[in-house]
Amino acid sequence: MISREQHDRMANAIRFLSMDAVEKANSGHPGLPMGAADVATVLFSKYLKFDPKNPLWPDRDRFVLSAGHGSMLIYSLLYLTGYEDMSIEDLKQFRQLGSKTAGHPEYGHATGIETTTGPLGQGIANAVGMAIAERKLAAEFGADLQNHHTYVLCGDGCLMEGISHEAIALAGHLKLNKLVLFWDNNNITIDGAVSLSDSTDQIARFQAVHWNTIAVDGHDQAAIAAAIEAAQTSDRPTFIACKTVIGFGAPNKQGTHKVHGSPLGAEEIAATRKALNWEAEAFTIPDDVLSDWRAAGTRSVSIREEWESRLAETDGDKKSEFNRRFAGALPSNFDGAIDTYKKKLADAPPAIATRKASEDALEVINGVLPETLGGSADLTPSNNTKTSQMKSITPTDFSGRYVHWGIREHGMAAAMNGIALHGGLIPYSGGFMIFSDYCRPSIRLAALMGIRVIHVLTHDSIGVGEDGPTHEPVEHMAALRAIPNLLMFRPADAVETAECWQLALHEQHRPSGLALTRQNLAPSRLTYEADNLCAKGAYELRSADNAKVSIFASGSEVELAVKAAEQLNAKGVATRVVSVPCVELFQEQPDDYRASVIGNAPVKIAAEAAVRQGWDYFIGNDGDFVGMHSFGASGPAKDLYKHFGITVDAIVAAAEKKLA
């Protein structure tokens, strides 16, 4: 049992490391770590199941610092509990270029940072995804192998962000009872008191979405412990509202917004040392305190060892499947299944929408990849994301493989990040491409973290038709292509769709999006090719000797490009067509490949039912672009294509004009 005095000294270690690191960096946020130090100390010293020497142990509890600006809290905890990749030197390098201790916690910088946080609210939704993953894997592999909690700490800001509501409503609905959310209820944000902008009754709010709620004094060690113990036996997720004082211990600044995001200053730090009776110098932790913390870090070793013995005793197939799933490797029969499917497609190339082609590909994929976890933001019949293998997950039955996310795109995308980060599953979603805007902050974070999540984005252009401009993406391909480390695929037919899925699934360290049509398309790949032609991002689909015209197109416009080329060739104008399913992959190819695909035909035309931005890479400044120059409109898709001039005739005319 940790005495009150010991506890205080352990919590103060967090406080001083945080304020001293912020002071040294002359930048950062001391208020949250100082205020939440007691909550974190109780959690990490008594309850969190973790092993700093085996930080990736699959059944560890997950801890997410949703209020990422308080990053020194987690960095301090990692150092104090004995993570080998977080030294005192790393803390001294807080916020310096190239250090692990970045301004906000970044996934991959050090073990124990379970996700990148900073954009407020994301961490709560990540944690919901982690809790979904745990419950799903527990249903699949049994409680012997998966049985852990997910703890998340948030501030007022996280709770004000809309994404938090999407996430907590789903968590309450799904009864994710191993999810525990601590609210650092300090009544302060950057501008001042929370009352400037918010008067939500948070307890009532969480109760309304079926959470267990507990309110405690966030500086009362025993009360925090009792709340965590109550949470651990709850049949619902638990919200622990912890009343805290921001910047606790700083005699003149605590409780005010002055400690939120600025160094305390030498004078106030000296006063805090006095007030908290802390004599150790900056970055020096007294031996007794460090040894208490290190003991907290070894607390779960035997639990981890018992877990390892259970895994060792697990039936061979199940054990190797569990290990494969957490390694993120695809099963050896995966590529063969795609290949067989491509042969079948070549026998009778279907004229279908790529969203339907995606469903057909998923039917094959989900048959061989038990780790895929599908879902849709209430557009299942439109996104075609649910295949025959996928039963719906329900609050009482997680044996299914399909999540009904509800109309919560942002929460879905962030929770998918949490699922991918948790390990053992590959999440893919469904949504209308237009609403990728609603997912964008989380897609960006997936790209920043380098994790495998796959967004199925259907209804990818004016091909949407009657629903009109509110539902027709125009700038979205360009906007998504602008996100570094995200692969945006826009396949042209069923074969390309299967190839793009294959590529997305092989990408262990990048997210992908698949832009798919609502409308049917003529097949453009008519013969079987063993190679995945989409792998190089762009390739010559129709060749022509001494081509005078090159047409570059993606997705639904490849069909138009092929027909335009046929007409031009019939008129004696040698024309080739390049299909561009993934600009990012193409840009990674060697110079000579890119030069050969771009070619040197004097006339270059690009066709995509979207804005031109980005296409100059292929066609240059003097190429011509057949696409959108405005928002779309409501009407039958065929009429819209005509109205906006995205037609075979328009491509032919553009080429002829350039040749003239």
Ligand X SMILES: Cc1ncc(C[n+]2csc(CCOP(=O)(O)OP(=O)(O)O)c2C)c(N)n1
Active site residues: 409
Rg of the chain taking only CA atoms, in angstroms: 27
- Residue 346 CB, nearest distance to ligand X (Å)? 48
For 15, residues 6+ apart whose C-beta sits below 8 A from its C-beta are 33, 34, 37, 248, 249, 272, 276
- Residue 94 CB, nearest distance to ligand X (Å)? 16
Burial of 650 (0-12, 13-18, 19+ CB in 10 A): buried
- Residue 384 CB, nearest distance to ligand X (Å)? 32
C-alpha torsion sign, points 171, 172, 174, 180:
positive
Q: How many CB atoms lie within 10 A of CB 402?
A: 21
φ, ψ for residue 181, nearest 5 deg: -115, 120
Closest CA to 529 of 573, 492, 551, 498: 498
Calculate the dihedral angle through the C-alpha atoms of 163, 167, 170, 175, rounding to the nearest 10 degrees.
-160
Calculate the dihedral angle through the C-alpha atoms of 28, 31, 34, 37, rounding to the nearest 10 degrees.
-100
**Comparison of 105 and 157: residue with beta carbon closer to ligand X:** 157
Please name the residue ranges forming H helices in 66-218.
71-81, 88-92, 122-141, 156-160, 162-173, 202-208
**Comparison of 190 and 351: residue with beta carbon closer to ligand X:** 190
**Comparison of 158 and 486: residue with beta carbon closer to ligand X:** 158
- Residue 296 CB, nearest distance to ligand X (Å)? 24
**87: alpha, beta or left, given left = phi > 0 and alpha = psi -120 to 50?**
beta
Whether the Cβ atoms of residue 89 and residue 75 lie closer than 8 Å to each other: no
Pairing verdict, β 575-579 and 549-553: parallel
**Comparison of 120 and 478: residue with beta carbon closer to ligand X:** 120
Closest CA to 15 of 41, 2, 27, 33: 33
Alpha carbon of 195 to those of 30, 161, 578, 610: distances in Å?
22, 16, 58, 44
What letters, b where the CB count within 10 A reaches 16 and e where it falls short, cover 20-51?
A: bbbbbbeebbbbbbbbbbbbbbbbbbbbbbbb
Read off the amino acid at residue 659: L
Closest CA to 201 of 159, 254, 145, 153: 159
**Comparison of 157 and 581: residue with beta carbon closer to ligand X:** 157
Q: How many CB atoms lie within 10 A of CB 464?
A: 25
- Residue 245 CB, nearest distance to ligand X (Å)? 10
- Residue 18 CB, nearest distance to ligand X (Å)? 12
- Residue 253 CB, nearest distance to ligand X (Å)? 13
For 302, residues 6+ apart whose C-beta sits below 8 A from its C-beta are none
Per DSSP, 280 falls in state P
**Comparison of 38 and 156: residue with beta carbon closer to ligand X:** 156
HSE-up of residue 148 (Cα within 13 Å, Cβ side) = 25
Whether the Cβ atoms of residue 428 and residue 454 lie closer than 8 Å to each other: yes
**Comparison of 110 and 124: residue with beta carbon closer to ligand X:** 124
- Return the bridge partners of 213, or none: 239
**Comparison of 149 and 257: residue with beta carbon closer to ligand X:** 257
Per DSSP, 612 falls in state -
Residues that bind ligand X (CB under 6 A): 29, 31-32, 67, 69-70, 118-120, 155-158, 161, 184, 186, 188-190, 246, 260
In whole angstroms, what is the distance from residue 81 CA to residue 85 CA? 11
Query: Residue holding tokens 């993934």?
Result: 582
Q: Which residue is nearest to ligand X (CB)?
A: 155
Whether the Cβ atoms of residue 549 and residue 576 lie closer than 8 Å to each other: yes
Q: How many CB atoms lie within 10 A of CB 253?
A: 22
- Residue 413 CB, nearest distance to ligand X (Å)? 14
**Comparison of 155 and 297: residue with beta carbon closer to ligand X:** 155
**Comparison of 34 and 145: residue with beta carbon closer to ligand X:** 34
- Residue 250 CB, nearest distance to ligand X (Å)? 13
- Residue 431 CB, nearest distance to ligand X (Å)? 21
- Residue 193 CB, nearest distance to ligand X (Å)? 10
Whether the Cβ atoms of residue 272 and residue 263 lie closer than 8 Å to each other: no
φ, ψ for residue 626, nearest 5 deg: -110, 110
Read off the amino acid at residue 69: H
Longest dimension (CA), the chain: 90
- Residue 452 CB, nearest distance to ligand X (Å)? 24
**Comparison of 198 and 363: residue with beta carbon closer to ligand X:** 198
- Return the bridge partners of 603, or none: 549
**Comparison of 66 and 354: residue with beta carbon closer to ligand X:** 66
Read off the amino acid at residue 162: G
Q: Which pair of structure tokens corresponds to residue 454?
A: 């796959």
